[in-house]
């Protein structure tokens, strides 16, 4: 049962697609106060658990920490962080005698104090008093999630080839780099379907351009890569470079499609290209205009994109930088003491993603000016909707791949997401795992992390263990930052181990793809906490390093260094399967705690009783997969 409660005049976030009759606010079932801000509160008992909030740090059970829904360009995903790139305002509260879901449909900042200030109370503070609440009751957590997913619309389904293995690097800058990646994968019997193009491919970091010196005939290059069954996926950033003669900027400026200062001039900030205008994605006309710009690259044969820097990330604003220079000028010629030094340093550090800047520019929404900070969490979602809606309208469903860094609930209908700039840390394998059910709850099925870690230097064993988890995630992409250790699979001495793990991905694609489609059609989760499936099992309630996958199996990756295996808890008898290339070993295990050994070139999987998993023969790309003649393991 879903009940809708409205306070004030909420902004239309387009998150909910179903018509839900509005209830009187006096009937709202939780404690509610309304002053400058709306505050919702409810009691927490000892055994209560809280799930959801999508892309966040810490555990699957969110109780005990304080989170913020505020799309943030946050590069360090450590436990002390309160927000990351997405704003996913949906939770499910689970206790023995009552379960309910709550969606706070509000595009500005929301603070979720889930037993942090007071362990016996949850307190949700909305930064405003125009908000829609959706309160959902159900028999089970999974039932509540399905009800929620039904009202927010069907999840995006990408093209079939998007389930293949994908390689990326900030630093592939010329044709020979991509050809080398392609040829080295093939030469080492390493499967590959996609190679990503980071900002290096552009002409001076300008959206929808290609550096013609590095790519003299880009259309032919894209065609040649496709002839080798490789899809090229260029990045698109939110900011449009301010440059006279650059058609995207000229047209956007002329038509008034960039975000504005209060005096009506374009808000200008600095990112990769230098000074940019920010397209006003909340303006319907601007959104349609920006979506149509992708055609330039699509006409060259490109059939997939990833949207970045769309929180929006700001290195600085021009007005903020001017103020910083003024402060610096006052110190010029003076002896700099410690406090002056710290102040000078902090002045420039605080330019990035400044709340002052987010509070200073405006969107044109149906002729009304709306301050950005009040709708901040919609910016990246509406950017990606601009692309996804254009793709579907012009090319049809499931034709192009698109996913985004920033997101809000509702963007799941037109795109996937990736989990942003993680690190080559063992603990981030586990964080990757814990995010999966939470983002699935919010409709994002096509998702995954940068396997191997984006920042820092990966080791071969870390990458192998991470790939063994990535085998199961719909988006399976290896990505790293400029200046970090090369982490393509062929860069390591034990290349055959990587070939064994990647072969397993392609063997499992029939299962992963069909499970994905079923979950999209049925508004279900691919990945679930054990607590959702075994609510009466106390041990299962506390397991956070294993997940149920589909209806058939459980995954439990090895995520610690120098470990030959791991401890797993089986809430029922299961078959422990190890897959490596074409090799399969299986062992029947009873309910309970077991230590299982897993070699670096093996992928562990646990299959439930009376269930079976289809396997294809290995292939070097999705085009070579035989989806008809399948084997089964049980």
pLDDT digits (tens, 9 = 90+) for 390-441: 999 999 999 999 999 999 999 999 999 999 999 999 999 999 999 999 999 9
CATH class of 2-152: mainly beta
Annotated domain spans of the chain? 2-152, 160-253+271-313+376-508, 512-633
For residue 492, what pLDDT is reported? 97
Share of the chain above pLDDT 70, in %: 100
The whole-angstrom separation of Cα 286 and Cα 240 is: 13
Strand order in the sheet with 22-23: 22-23, 2-7, 131-137, 99-105, 90-94, 49-52
- Residue from 207, 228, 229, 203 nearest 216 by CA: 203
Share of the chain above pLDDT 90, in %: 93
Q: Which residue has the tokens 């295990």?
A: 589
Structure-token pair, residue 103:
């969606």
Count other Cβ atoms within 10 Å, centred on residue 22.
11
Q: What are phi and psi of 339, to 5 degrees?
A: -75, -35
For residue 328, pLDDT over 80 is answered with: no
For residue 35, pLDDT over 90 is answered with: no
For residue 335, what pLDDT is reported? 75
For residue 484, what pLDDT is reported? 97
CB 503 within 8 A of CB 581: yes
What mean pLDDT comes out for the span 237-250?
98
Strand intervals (E) in 556-622 = 565-570, 574-580, 583-589, 592-597, 603-608, 613-615
Q: Euclidean distance between the first and final Cα of the chain, in Å?
A: 37
For residue 337, what pLDDT is reported? 81
Rg (CA), the chain: 24
Per-residue pLDDT reduced to its tens digit, 331-366: 777 777 888 777 778 888 888 999 999 999 999 999
Same CATH fold, 512-633 and 2-152?
yes
State the helix-helix crossing angle for 379-395 and 284-293, rounded to 10 degrees: 60
Per-residue pLDDT reduced to its tens digit, 113-123: 999 999 999 99
Query: Per mean pLDDT, which range of 346-360, 367-381, 524-538 is the poorest?
Result: 346-360
For residue 322, pLDDT over 90 is answered with: no
The secondary structure of residue 498, as a DSSP letter, is H
Query: Per mean pLDDT, which range of 12-16, 96-100, 190-194, 518-522 is the poorest?
Result: 96-100
Count other Cβ atoms within 10 Å, centred on residue 139.
8
For residue 341, what pLDDT is reported? 75
CA distances from 419 to 8, 74, 184, 477 (A): 34, 11, 27, 11
Sign of CA dihedral 356, 359, 364, 368: negative
CA distances from 365 to 12, 104, 384, 388 (A): 10, 21, 18, 20
What mean pLDDT comes out for the span 162-177?
97
What mean pLDDT comes out for the span 364-392?
97
Per-residue pLDDT reduced to its tens digit, 75-119: 899 999 999 999 999 999 999 888 999 999 999 999 999 999 999
For residue 163, pLDDT over 90 is answered with: yes
For residue 116, what pLDDT is reported? 97
Length of the chain: 634
CATH numeric code, 160-253+271-313+376-508: 3.20.20.80
Label each residue of 161-223 as H, E or C: HHHCEEECCCCCCCHHHHHHHHHHHHHCCCCCCEEEECHHHCCCCCCCCCCCCCCCCHHHHHH
Higher-confidence residue of 215 and 324: namely 215
Which H or E run includes 538?
Answer: helix 538-542
Per-residue pLDDT reduced to its tens digit, 557-599: 999 999 999 999 999 999 999 999 999 999 999 999 999 999 9
State the helix-helix crossing angle for 338-349 and 318-331, rounded to 10 degrees: 170
pLDDT mean across residues, the chain: 96
**SS3 label, residue 128:** coil
Confidence bin at 326 (pLDDT 50/70/90): confident
CATH class of 512-633: mainly beta
For residue 127, what pLDDT is reported? 97
Structure-token pair, residue 16:
């909910």
- Give Cβ neighbours of residue 80 (< 8 Å, ≥ 6 apart): none
What mean pLDDT comes out for the span 241-248?
97
């Amino acid at each position: 049962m879903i009940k809708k409660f409205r306070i004030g005049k909420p902004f239309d976030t387009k998150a909910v697609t179903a018509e839900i009759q509005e209830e009187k606010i006096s009937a709202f079932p939780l404690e509610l106060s309304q002053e400058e801000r709306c505050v919702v509160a409810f009691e927490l008992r000892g055994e209560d658990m809280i799930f959801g909030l999508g892309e966040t740090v810490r555990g699957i059970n969110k109780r005990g920490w304080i989170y913020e829904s505020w799309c943030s360009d946050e590069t360090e995903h450590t436990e002390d962080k309160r927000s990351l790139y997405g704003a996913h305002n949906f939770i499910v509260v689970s206790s023995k005698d009552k379960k309910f879901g709550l969606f706070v449909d509000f595009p500005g900042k929301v603070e979720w104090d889930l037993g942090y200030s007071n362990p016996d109370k949850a307190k949700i503070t909305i930064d405003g008093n125009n908000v829609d609440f959706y309160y959902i009751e159900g028999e089970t957590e999974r039932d509540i999630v399905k009800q929620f997913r039904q009202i927010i619309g069907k999840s995006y389904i990408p093209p079939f080839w998007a389930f293949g293995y994908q390689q990326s690097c900030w630093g592939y800058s010329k044709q020979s780099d991509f050809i080398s990646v392609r040829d080295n994968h093939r030469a080492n019997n390493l499967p590959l379907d996609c190679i990503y193009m980071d900002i290096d491919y552009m002409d001076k970091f300008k959206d929808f351009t290609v550096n013609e010196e590095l790519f003299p005939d880009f259309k032919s290059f894209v065609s040649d890569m496709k002839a080798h069954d490789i899809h090229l996926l260029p990045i698109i950033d939110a900011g449009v470079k301010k440059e006279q003669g650059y058609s995207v900027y000229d047209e956007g400026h002329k038509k008034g499609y960039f975000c504005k200062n209060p005096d009506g001039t374009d808000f200008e900030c600095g990112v990769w290209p230098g000074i940019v205008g920010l397209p006003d994605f909340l303006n319907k006309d601007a959104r349609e205009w920006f979506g149509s710009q992708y055609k330039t690259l699509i006409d060259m044969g490109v059939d997939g994109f990833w949207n970045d820097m769309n929180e929006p990330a700001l290195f600085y604003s021009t007005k903020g930088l001017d103020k910083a220079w003024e402060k610096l000028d006052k110190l010029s010629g003076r002896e700099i003491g410690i406090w002056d030094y710290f102040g000078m340093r902090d002045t420039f550090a605080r330019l990035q993603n400044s709340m002052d800047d987010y509070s200073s520019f405006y969107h044109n929404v149906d002729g009304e000016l709306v301050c950005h900070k009040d709708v901040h969490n919609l910016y990246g979602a509406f950017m990606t909707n601009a692309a996804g809606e254009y793709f579907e309208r012009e090319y049809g469903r499931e034709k192009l791949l698109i996913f985004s860094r920033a997101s809000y609930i509702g963007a799941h209908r037109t795109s996937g997401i990736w989990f942003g700039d993680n690190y080559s840390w063992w603990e981030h394998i586990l964080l990757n795992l814990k995010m999966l059910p939470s983002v699935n709850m919010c409709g994002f099925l096509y998702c995954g992390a940068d396997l191997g870690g984006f920042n820092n230097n990966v080791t071969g064993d870390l990458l192998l263990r991470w790939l063994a988890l990535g085998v199961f995630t719909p988006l399976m992409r290896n990505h790293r930052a400029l200046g970090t250790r090369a982490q393509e699979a062929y860069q390591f001495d034990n290349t055959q181990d990587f070939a064994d793990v990647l072969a397993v991905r392609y063997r499992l694609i029939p299962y992963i793809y069909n499970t994905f489609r079923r979950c999209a059609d049925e508004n279900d989760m691919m990945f679930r906490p054990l607590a959702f499936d075994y609510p009466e099992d106390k041990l299962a309630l506390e397991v956070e390093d294993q997940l149920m996958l589909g209806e058939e199996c459980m995954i439990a990756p090895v995520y610690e260094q120098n470990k030959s295996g791991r401890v797993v808890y089986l809430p029922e008898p299961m078959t422990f399967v190890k897959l490596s290339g074409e090799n399969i070993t299986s062992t029947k295990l009873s309910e309970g705690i077991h230590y299982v050994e897993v070699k670096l070139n093996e992928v562990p999987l646990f299959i439930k009783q009376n269930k079976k998993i289809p396997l294809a023969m290995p292939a070097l790309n999705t085009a070579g997969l035989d989806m008809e003649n399948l084997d089964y393991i049980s």
